[in-house]
Amino acid sequence: MAGEAERSDRVVHAEPAEEAENACLKEQVEDPALVVIFGATGDLTSRKLFPALHSLRRNGILPERFGIVGVGRTELTHEAFRERMRSALFGESGGDEIWSDMAERVFYHYGNADEPESFDKLAHLLQDLQERLHTGGNILFYFAVPPSLYIPLTRQLGRAGLSRQERGWRRLVVEKPFGHDLESARTLDRALHESFAEHQIFRIDHYLAKETVQNISMLRFANAIFEPLWDRRYVDYVRITAAESVGVGHRAGYYDRYGVLRDMFQNHMMQLLALCAMEPPSSFRADPVRDEKTKVYRSLRPFPTERLEDHLVLGQYTSGKVDGERVPGYTDESGVAADSLTPTFAAMCVYVDNWRWQGVPFYLTSGKRLAAKRTEIVVQFKQVPFSPFRGVIGEDIGANRLVLSIQPREGVSLDFQAKAPGSQICLRNVTMHYDFGSGFMPGMEAYEKALLDCLLGDQTLFWRQDGVELCWSFLTPVLMECDCPERSDMLYMYRAGNWGPQAANRLLPDWDGET
């Protein structure tokens, strides 16, 4: 026993020391810069972007010389905008030293894409701030606005000469959705490229910036034991789930036009799929990583639209109870049409037609108002090829299963068979689990990491346009087929607080849809 205790002690010391972890958190941005946020009075700015910038400042990651300019269509003074952001960060009253220092570098500008002169004035303000704050010519533009404004805003930036990299870099951050279908994605891209080159465009997908999602690559490519098993010879299926307990909230106007396939599949789900299915990149840099993902998207088997029901289940939530509280059905949410056929749940089975994955189904599922928030990837391994225990315990032996839990808690679990104690041969499924929350210090919030990478100019965790287009090419035929009212028979209702419609059970192995 003493020997065992010593051994396990050594294992604990072999884990990363706190200083080493601190070093992982510190990556200082050297380039001075201005961050210009369009949609400054919107939800994303106050809920995500300012908290992320504040935290980056607190951790000493932002450059010494920086400034933030909020741009919006509401007339506001600099002071009134600072007060809004302060209260978003600290509530009714309060603040901290970091904020006092930051607030002096926060400015506001009235800008409207329909009023070109407001962009000329913005150019003057930025010129003036660059001199006052000594930020050089580096500017990060962030579009935290409805997608319909992306094209007019880019054109105004181009017209006012703000995208030109004469004395420093200019970068543009665009939030998803990147278009509504393949055609509109291409139109948007052409418009962005009128003023910005590809290396200046950062198409953000906040899932990629989650520590836990980045960890998928580390688990696969920094450990020798998983890769040899990671293919059609050993894997039975892969199930990727992004379940949410929240409803559409105040975003109904957007959501009702997009639905779950455009809102979650065209971006986050496709990225999770690529991270599971891609080959090891030659290096962990932007283009080698994105090249490998692109190969996965190129290998997606086109959806058999004539047999859509065999591969796709769509659902919409009705009223029910979530976390003990009564919640309205989707069509009773404010801002949703009473006869809306927009799906809030989808389960689909896709195949990656390549050497590694031939014949292995990937089940992708996402939905709102499900029983719990849970994002996970399940790699289900095949049964043993032959059981020497069959005479004693029958043919069935539970197969191994690796579960990568992404949220709400990050962890990795492996299910395997063990002998239950006793004189008889009796097998029991047991689980080995590692919980990242208790093993590591908390990491960076997704928007912090995304903003940091934009300031560093690292596009590894951002979409490249070829990937966007390949995913739209895959999904657009499906959307065209099921977007039309004649296909309303494809939409199954499920009570809020369940795991989606019962119909999902026939598609997804081990699924617990409404019964």
Choose the catalytic residue: 199, 268, 311, 433.
268
Is the CB of 169 or the CB of 254 nearer to ligand BG6?
A: 254
CB atoms within 10 A of CB 260: 24
Residue 193 known to be catalytic? no
Would you tell me the crossing angle of helices 465-482 and 270-277 to the nearest 10 degrees? 120
Residue from 244, 376, 410, 469 binding ligand BG6 (CB under 6 A): 244
Is the CB of 242 or the CB of 341 nearer to ligand BG6?
A: 242
Token pair listed for 156: 């105004």
Is the CB of 318 or the CB of 375 nearer to ligand BG6?
A: 375
Is the CB of 41 or the CB of 375 nearer to ligand BG6?
A: 375
Residue nearest to ligand BG6 (CB): 263
> Cβ 446 to ligand BG6, closest distance in Å?
7
**H/E element holding 351?**
strand 345-351
Is the CB of 244 or the CB of 256 nearer to ligand BG6?
A: 244
Residue 350 CB contacts under 8 Å (≥ 6 apart), including other chains: 273, 300, 301, 303, 311, 361, 362, 364
d(CA 331, CA 374): 24
> Cβ 330 to ligand BG6, closest distance in Å?
13
Angle at 57 between CA 53 and CA 60, to 5 degrees: 140
Binding-residue total with ligand BG6 (CB under 6 A): 3
Is the CB of 263 or the CB of 453 nearer to ligand BG6?
A: 263
> Cβ 396 to ligand BG6, closest distance in Å?
35
> Cβ 500 to ligand BG6, closest distance in Å?
16
> Cβ 24 to ligand BG6, closest distance in Å?
22
Residue from 263, 376, 410, 469 binding ligand BG6 (CB under 6 A): 263
Among positions 357-396, residues that touch ligand BG6 (CB under 6 A) are 375
Return the closest-CA partner of residue 454 out of 204, 283, 102, 130: 204
d(CA 49, CA 106): 13
d(CA 452, CA 422): 56
**Tokens 């559409």 belong to residue:** 248
Is 445 near ligand BG6 (CB under 6 A)?
Answer: no
**Tokens 């972007």 belong to residue:** 49
303 neighbors 478 (Cβ within 8 angstroms): yes
d(CA 153, CA 94): 35
> Cβ 263 to ligand BG6, closest distance in Å?
5
Dihedral angle of Cα 448, 451, 455, 461, to the nearest 10 degrees? 100
Binding site for ligand BG6 (CB under 6 A): 244, 263, 375
Q: Which residues are part of the catalytic machinery?
A: 268
